[in-house]
Structure 1
Amino acid sequence: MRQSDPQEVTVPKSYPHSVRRQISHCLRAGDAVADIASETGISPATLFRWKDQALIDAGVRGGVPSVESDELASARSRIAALEAELALTRDACALFDEQSVMPPKGRSRSSKD
């Protein structure tokens, strides 16, 4: 038996939208989750989540439709990018504020030649 490494991180597997859409359609049509799980190798927990979301998208159950959650995820990603850009801008401004402009040696800024 393999022991898990405490530093090891498990990343959820990602599936194309077309696959998810096709399987969700089969689930809504009445195919058993266990059958689809054994055919595709996708975990039953994932399939149940997809089925629940398909029912929400169809208006059968209450919840947030996929379109709205996709828009929300996109907005959150954009906000994170803008906040990172703002932080860089603030750091650059702070750096320039700390630097003082020194006149060239031997000349004062107020004298004109």
Structure 2
Amino acid sequence: MAAPRKYPDELRERAVRLVLDAKAESGNLKGACREIGGQLGIHPETLRGWVARAEVDAGLRPGTPSAESKRVADLEREVRELRRANAILKSASAFFASVPR
């Protein structure tokens, strides 16, 4: 289970919008993150990470979008569960095959 988020989603979205607007005006991501982060009480590096993730999700920056990463993680979890169930069924099958009738 994931840890609870420190910042609400609305604040994250608003902060990212503000940084992207400030970046469009000045062209400086680091300065925009420092300024907006100071105003909203968010560490600039945290804000920079949010902006990078938003840019990847929007297709503005290369990388794997969040939805795709989540889908892959879900599929990997399902594969682990199926392999575990398969191992249990194999051992049960071997057990019942060895029981005399």
Q: Which band: TM-score by shorter chain?
A: 0.5 to 0.7
Deviations 1:1-38 (A, max 9, x none): xxxxxxxxxxx73429x9346414422431635437x7
Unaligned 5+ segments in structure 1 are 1-11, 102-113
Structure index of larger Rg: 1
Paired AA for residue 38 in structure 2: D
Per the alignment, residue 19 of structure 1 pairs with: 8
**Distance change in 2, residues 1:13/1:68 (3 Å):** same
Q: Which has the higher contact order (CA 8 A, sep 6+)?
A: 2
* CA displacement, residues 27-68 of structure 1 (integer Å, 9 cap, x when unaligned): 2431635437x736xx65544333211110111101111111
Q: Provide the TM-score with structure 2 as the length reference.
A: 0.64
After superposing on structure 2, the runs of 4+ consecutive aligned residues of structure 1 that deviate more than 6 Å are: none
* Count of aligned positions: 86
Question: Structure 2: where are the runs of 5+ without partners?
Answer: 20-31
Deviation at 1:94, TM superposition (A): 1.3
Determine whether 1:91 maps to 2:80: no
C-alpha contact 2:55 2:61 (8 A) present in aligned 1: yes
| Pairwise CA RMSD | 3.0
TM-score of the superposed pair, with normalisation by structure 1: 0.58
Identity between Structure 1 and Structure 2 (%): 24
Structure 1: how far apart are the matches of 2:70 and 2:17?
A: 21
Contact 1:56 1:62 in 2 (8 A): yes
Structure with bigger helix share is 2
